[in-house]
Amino acid sequence: MSKRLVVALSGGIGGAKLALGLSRVLPADELLVVANTGDDFEHLGLSISPDIDTLIYTLAGINNPVTGWGRRDETWSFMESIGALGGEDWFRLGDRDLALHVERTRRLRLGQTLSEVTSDICRRLGIAARVVPMSDDRVRTRVRSEEGWIDFQDYFVRQQCRPVVHELAFEGVTLARPHADIMAALRSGDVRAVVLCPSNPFISVEPILAIPGMREAIKSSGAPVVAVSPIIGGQAVKGPTAKMMRELGLEASAAGVAARYSDLLDGYIVDHADADGIGNISARVTITKTLMTSLQDRETLARVTLDAADALASPR
């Protein structure tokens, strides 16, 4: 019988778009989305998990299509009020969004794990696919710039990615345990594909891959590993991926991302716009439209990605 499980590694905005596509073309019990938690932080006394939140809102169909993060139909009374009081308003938390952080924080304080909270909130919002944090243990991405080491959200949101990035670190990662459901899936012998979503490699996918045991489990799952390039026409659709690549001395291109994943990659999905620059990629390349504007784009790219994986799995 053919293998069924698709394990998708995802950050926030780009990853969630493909995760939504996958969730619409696969039965719910065939998709496991592994969420990056390196972006998580504590702010205003709240536990915030930006990538999990973007995945939840996107998969539930309540994401804000304009910002890419947060909820649609949002109001901002809390932000306006806290700003007027001289409070911290650099990290934008809408009123509806705030409810999720307050509730997550309450449950974590009662001793629930991040994965328990995530799965219950998914269920309540009608999300059928499984979304699992890479680990229930604390991992925090840190950025080294000219100012020295700073917290990820300080770099990403407060300073809007302006500092030049010299180095990244995932604090706590050596002690973090991969979530048991991810390991069980990867060891099940039933994995059809491991998909590296079109997320920022450095701050969304690599924290997941840095969890001890994760890379090895992916490799020994026996499943084809297929990545979708987050770079289109040599540029990021959104966010600092290309800027970061240049600052880290890498080629800001689809090929540069593939080189970063090279030891893992069996298949690579790139956009028509990058077709000329992929000569040296050792993975099997599929050229297609990778910009996901409509819901149909998300579904089509999900199907193309799964087809590429299936072609790699079948005897050549």
Smaller CB separation from ligand GDP, 114 or 237: 237
Q: Is 40 helix (H, G, I), strand (E, B) or coil?
A: coil
> Do the Cβ atoms of 51 and 131 come closer than 8 Å?
no
The region that residue 222 occupies, defined by phi over 0 for left and psi between -120 and 50 for alpha, beta otherwise, is left
Count of CB atoms situated within 10 Å of the CB of 57: 23
The residue to which tokens 């090895």 are assigned: 216
Q: How far is the CB of 230 from ligand GDP (least distance, A)?
A: 3
Measured distance CA(223)–CA(284) in Å, rounded:
14
Using CB under 6 A as the binding rule, whether residue 291 contacts ligand GDP is answered as yes
The residue to which tokens 């009608």 are assigned: 126
Using CB under 6 A as the binding rule, whether residue 13 contacts ligand GDP is answered as yes
Using CB under 6 A as the binding rule, whether residue 139 contacts ligand GDP is answered as no
Q: Kindly identify the residues of this chain, within the stretch 224-283, that bind ligand GDP according to CB under 6 A.
A: 228-230, 232, 236-239, 241
Smaller CB separation from ligand GDP, 62 or 82: 62
The residue to which tokens 């060891």 are assigned: 187
**Interface residue with ligand GDP, options 5, 6, 14, 58 (CB under 6 A):** 14
Instruction: Tell me the β-bridge partners of 48.
Output: 41
Smaller CB separation from ligand GDP, 206 or 266: 206
Range in contact with ligand GDP (rule: CB under 6 A) among 6-14, 74-82, 87-95, 175-183: 6-14
Using CB under 6 A as the binding rule, whether residue 38 contacts ligand GDP is answered as no
**Interface residue with ligand GDP, options 47, 63, 204, 253 (CB under 6 A):** 204
Using CB under 6 A as the binding rule, whether residue 140 contacts ligand GDP is answered as no
Residue 19: name the closest of 52, 65, 64 by CA. 52
Q: How far is the CB of 238 from ligand GDP (least distance, A)?
A: 5
**End-to-end CA, the chain:** 18
Measured distance CA(37)–CA(56) in Å, rounded:
13
**Residues engaged in binding ligand GDP (CB under 6 A):** 11-15, 17, 51, 54, 198-200, 204, 228-230, 232, 236-239, 241, 290-292
